[in-house]
């Protein structure tokens, strides 16, 4: 009887271990992130190309407000895509910010073009602008999404340890430049990034607003753990548990 109890304990332990692995697998498979919305008028706003520095102020030789603390990295973004890492600074004379510049001296892809440096709005039209922000746990820096020329009210990141999408929707009351920016607002009571801290930025987006589009839609990183996938996971658990029973029973019988 005592030997049977030992066998059952081993079997139950193996089943529990397999179940734990399957739960972790299911969680990883069903991980989700914010969907990239088509129609972005900010060139390279998805940050998936190293060319992003051609279309955003990111000059390390200039002050923090000119993106001097921002660097591009090929992964780590929403869905592990490319993103921008905004590093902290001990330069208190200016605030770290990321600002788009659609043109570089009037040239895009080596061609002279007739376009504006800044995103443009037309009076009476409705627009949407958004940014994905990741503040690591323990980083309480004030990450603000706004327009420097006051077209819209500012919004600030509120989450830690997960991606957060900040969305602004408004109708333009005048035509002209739209000075979109994401800024570590360390003045006026805000909290600055310390030199050893950072935040990640992804999907810097601006476009005319479209009815019916879900701008905060989430997409799965892999196949959701439902339907056939759930059957596969269950089968793995059952097979592993059964093999555990057979192995333990076989060992007992061979004695």
CATH number, domain with residue 67: 2.60.120.260
- Do both 26 and 68 map to the same domain? no
Beta bridge partners of 132: 165, 202
- Do both 54 and 134 map to the same domain? yes
- Do both 127 and 101 map to the same domain? yes
The total number of structural domains that make up the chain: 2
Q: What is the pLDDT of residue 72?
A: 96
- Do both 163 and 123 map to the same domain? yes
Q: Express each pLDDT in 94-114 by its tens digit.
A: 689 999 987 656 665 566 656
Q: What is the pLDDT of residue 28?
A: 35
- Do both 208 and 240 map to the same domain? no
- Do both 23 and 48 map to the same domain? no
- Do both 145 and 181 map to the same domain? yes
* Tens-digit pLDDT string for the chain (255 aa): 566 556 456 645 554 444 443 433 333 334 688 999 999 999 899 999 999 988 898 888 877 788 899 999 999 999 899 999 999 988 766 689 999 987 656 665 566 656 577 888 999 999 999 999 999 999 999 999 999 888 888 999 999 999 999 999 999 999 988 999 999 998 878 999 999 999 999 999 999 999 999 999 998 864 333 333 333 333 443 444 444 444 444 444 444
- Three-state SS letters, the chain: CHHHHHHHHHHHHHHHHHHHHHHHHHHHHCCEEECCCCCCCCCCCCCCCHHHHHCECCCCCCCHHHCCCEEEECCCCHHHCCEEEEECCCCCCCCCEECECCCECCEECCEECCCCCCCEECCCCEEEEEEEEECCCCCCCCEEEEECCCCCCCEECCCCCCEEEEEEEEECCCCEECCEEEEECCCCCCCCCCCCCEEEEEEEEEEECCCCCCCCCEEECCCCCCCHHHHHHHHHHHHHHHHHHHHHHHHHHCC
- Do both 20 and 37 map to the same domain? no
- Do both 91 and 24 map to the same domain? no
Distance CA 115, CA 204 (A): 19
- Do both 57 and 180 map to the same domain? yes
- Do both 37 and 26 map to the same domain? no
| Cα Rg, the chain, nearest whole Å | 25
Q: What is the pLDDT of residue 241?
A: 42
**pTM for this entry:** 0.72
- Do both 234 and 188 map to the same domain? no
Host domain of residue 22: 2-30+222-253
Whose tokens are 């510049």? That residue is: 101
């Amino acid at each position: 009887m005592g030997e049977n109890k030992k066998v059952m304990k081993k079997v139950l332990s193996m089943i529990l271990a397999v179940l734990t692995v399957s739960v972790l697998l299911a969680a990883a498979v069903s991980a989700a992130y914010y969907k990239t919305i088509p129609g972005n008028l900010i060139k390279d706003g998805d940050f998936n190309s190293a060319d992003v520095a051609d279309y955003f102020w990111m000059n390390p030789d200039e002050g923090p407000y000119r993106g001097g603390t921002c660097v591009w990295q090929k992964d780590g973004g929403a869905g592990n895509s490319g993103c921008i890492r905004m590093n902290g600074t001990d330069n208190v004379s200016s605030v770290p910010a990321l600002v788009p510049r659609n043109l570089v001296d009037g040239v895009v892809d080596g061609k002279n073009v007739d376009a504006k440096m800044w995103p443009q709005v037309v009076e009476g039209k409705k627009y949407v602008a958004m940014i994905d922000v990741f503040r690591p746990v323990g980083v309480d820096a004030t990450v603000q999404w706004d327009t420097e020329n006051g077209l819209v009210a500012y919004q600030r990141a509120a989450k830690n340890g997960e991606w957060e999408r900040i969305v602004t929707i408004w109708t333009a009351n005048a035509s002209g430049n739209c000075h979109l920016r994401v800024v570590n607002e360390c003045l006026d009571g805000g909290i600055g990034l310390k030199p050893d801290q950072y935040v990640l930025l992804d999907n810097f987006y601006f476009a005319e607003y479209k009815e019916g589009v879900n701008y905060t839609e989430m997409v799965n990183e892999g196949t959701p753990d439902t339907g056939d996938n759930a059957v596969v996971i269950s089968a793995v658990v059952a097979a592993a548990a059964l093999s555990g029973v057979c192995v333990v029973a076989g060992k007992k019988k061979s004695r």
